[in-house]
Chains A and B, each alone.
Chain A
Amino acid sequence: MSNTFIAISIAVMALVTLLLRAFPFLVLGNKTTPGFIVYLSKYLPYSIMGMLVIYCVKNVSLIVSPHGLPELIAIVITGTLQAFKRNTLLSIIVGTIAYMLLIQLCF
């Protein structure tokens, strides 16, 4: 790992990310936003958050032991805690510690 390689890799990631974020602003800039996009911007967030949750567990195998059990248990703990206490930081910390304990000690 040369420093030049690390620097260029970081620059590539930064540039592509910025282009993705800026693209709609450059294209839609000063025009009135079409109705379909207004509709999407209202309901898409719910779908995308569901997508991201699945994205996080994409490498979990249900077939090979432990069959995604540590992830399932930790997600249920995080979700339940959030549903009742509604303290995001608490949910994240407890959920993460629970997961670490599960994979290090139990599975």
Chain B
Amino acid sequence: MAGYIVLGIGFGILAKVNGLSVLWVFLMSLFIYAGSMQFVGISLITGGASLITTAITTLLVNARHLFYSISMVDKYRGSGLKKPYLIFGLTDETYSLVCNDDAEEGFDKHKFYFLITILNQSYWVMGSLIGAILGGIITFNTAGIDFAMTALFVTVFVEQWKSTKEHRPALIGLGATGLCLIIFGSENFLIPSMALIAILLTILRPALTKKEAENE
């Protein structure tokens, strides 16, 4: 969770250094609330991208959120008034936390997920604001600060890796995406990667389901 503050600071500094005001940084973190997309958003806005380009880029960069939501349809069922915000706030980080943390029996799990979601956004908004303010006063070289996003995903990847003995899905993610990056190039590889991952997981389903049954 606290990684969000660091990542938010990174975003805030980058946005400010690129000419976006503190108010815009705040509004982006409040309403878009999508880590990697906001980093991309800085270059879209400052580069004067057309609204169509912005819409399509958002669709592609955030397409993985479709999968996040699909995974959460069951978990968020019956969450009532909390549901719209739970859905709005389903970011990479919130998703990985809700995925891995099952609330204890007897505890209101939707309240628990709601707290995770709102805490995450608070950290994110706070970090962004701190970063945007820092961005106006710092004098050191900030080149490379966007590695915070890479570092975040690497730590989640390592945690997931340690949580299971079944590593094929993780390796499929790395392999399929790496392959598609080489074939389709850095502008167009995301959609093919997701398609390939879906196909490979479908092929692997009998094997994984069998393994699950044996372990039970």
Contact = CB atoms under 8 A, between A and B. Distances in A.
B49 to A, nearest CB: 8
A20 B19 contact: no
The CB with the most chain A CB atoms within 10 A, among B3, B48, B147, B186, is that of B147
B70 A28 contact: yes
Nearest to A92: B151
Question: What is the interface of chain A mostly: helix, strand, loop, or mixed?
Answer: helix
Contacts of B178: 54
B156 interface: yes
B192 to A, nearest CB: 11
A49 B67 contact: no
A14 to B, nearest CB: 4
Interface residues of A, number: 67
Question: What is the interface of chain B mostly: helix, strand, loop, or mixed?
Answer: helix
Nearest to B100: A45
Contacts of A56: 36, 149-150, 153
Contacts of B2: 88-89
Contact of A46 (B73, B88, B170): B170
Contacts of A49: 96, 153, 156-157, 160, 170, 173
B159 A86 contact: yes
Contact of A100 (B51, B83, B99, B145): B145
Contacts of B70: 24, 28, 37, 40-41
Contacts of B87: 18, 21-22, 25
Contact of A55 (B148, B166, B190): B190
A71 B149 CA distance: 12
Interface stretch (B56-64, B105-113, B130-138): B56-64
The CB with the most chain B CB atoms within 10 A, among A28, A37, A88, A102, is that of A88
The CB with the most chain B CB atoms within 10 A, among A11, A88, A92, is that of A92
B150 A10 contact: no
A39 B213 CA distance: 13
Given A12-B58, A40-B70, A50-B175, 11 more contacts: A1-B46, A12-B55, A21-B88, A36-B202, A44-B67, A46-B160, A47-B170, A56-B153, A75-B150, A75-B154, A96-B147
Interface of A: 1, 5-14, 16-18, 20-25, 28-29, 33, 36-41, 43-59, 70-71, 74-75, 78-79, 82-83, 86, 88-89, 91-93, 95-96, 99-100, 102-104
Q: Which 5 residue pairs across A and B have the least CB separation, nearest first?
A: A50-B173, A47-B173, A41-B71, A46-B169, A56-B150
Interface of B: 2-3, 6-7, 10, 19-20, 24, 27-28, 31-34, 36-38, 41, 44-46, 48-49, 51, 54-55, 58-59, 62-74, 76, 83, 87-88, 90, 92, 95-96, 99, 141-145, 147-160, 162, 164, 166-167, 169-178, 181, 186, 189-190, 193-194, 197-198, 201-202, 204-205, 208-209
